[in-house]
Amino acid sequence: MRFVAFALLLGVGACESGRILPVSVIWMDWPDEVGADDPFRTRLVVLQPCAIIRGFVPAPTADASAVTFAPYFVADKDQIACLAGGVVASEQLVTWAIDTAGMAPGLTADVPRLYEMRGAGVESCPACLVEQNSAPWVTFGEVTVRPALPSPSLVRNAAGSVLAQRDSTGCLRIRPAGLPGAGSALVVENPGDTTTQWFGVVRGYIYELAAPLCGETKVFHLITRN
């Protein structure tokens, strides 16, 4: 929890010396199972605002039922002119999605139990508000917390907004909305239909296959699509 406290203090300082720019979480993935009281790495894809960026704070908090990420950027107070969806002058001035991460705090569990994984769904600034967790949240899924975990889980739950594209061989891949490049794409193990391209919100899990599918062993298993 010391990490959370440090992040909040950084945010309070930034409110005085710079700008706090809250952002929504586009995509999140995290371990399917974790041990009690063990912090765990959570991948976050967020929109980077058009500004001269000083730093990024994932701002995780936890309560008796959920882990919540309310990320924000710390930026200079100076305003700049930006081109929507592009780069202006330097790589720091981008209005695009970025791939980052945050450490979720350790969660208590005397018996195996579930916690929700949530992220900011609208602009909010938890470090600058008197009342924490007062914004509407998006629930991305759940994590199972066990009192003892013999070995780290190799399965990661995942959810968020994606672009799906099918190639000429019939392989369907998804990538978090706003992330350019093929490196962020995941092969969908069970695509369900033959649509060539679509945008949507998906839930599922990421795991390793014994034999490659579409040239990849790391795949996404689709559970729901909206």
Q: What is the 3-state secondary structure (H, E, C) of the chain?
A: CHHHHHHHHHHHHHHHHCEEEECCEEEEEEECEEECCCCEEEEEEEEECCCCEEEEECCEEECCCEEEECCEEEECCCCCCCCCCCEECEEEEECEEEEEEEEECCCCCCCCEEEEEEEECCCCCHHHCCCCCCCCEEEEEEEEEECCCCCCCCCEEEEEEEEEEECCCCCEEEEECCCCCHHHCEEECCCCCCCCEEEEEEEEEEEEEEEEECCEEEEEEEEEEC
Q: What's the pLDDT band for 86 if we cut at 50, 70, 90? A: very low
Residue 211 scores a pLDDT above 80: yes
| Two tokens, residue 80 | 């700049």
**Among 20, 1, 3, residue whose Cα is nearest residue 62:** 1
pLDDT of 78 reads 78
pLDDT band, residue 84 (cuts 50/70/90): low
Q: What is the band of 3 on the pLDDT scale with cuts at 50, 70, 90?
A: very low
* For range 7-30, the mean pLDDT: 70
Q: Which residue has the higher pLDDT, 7 or 110?
A: 110
Range name among 4-13, 66-75, 82-91, 172-181 with the lowest pLDDT average: 4-13
pLDDT of residue 196: 92
pLDDT in tens, 151-210: 989 999 999 999 999 999 999 999 999 888 778 899 999 998 889 999 999 999 999 999
Residue 62 has pLDDT above 90, yes or no: yes
Q: Which residue has the higher pLDDT, 216 or 81?
A: 216
Q: What percentage of the chain exceeds 90 in pLDDT? A: 60
Rg of the chain's alpha carbons, rounded to an integer? 18
Residue 99 pLDDT greater than 60, yes or no: yes
- The amino acid occupying position 186 is L
pLDDT tens sequence across 108-132? 999 999 999 999 874 443 433 333 3
Query: Distances in Å between the alpha carbon of 5 and those of 12, 57, 88, 114, 218?
Result: 11, 12, 34, 24, 35
Residue-averaged pLDDT of the chain: 83
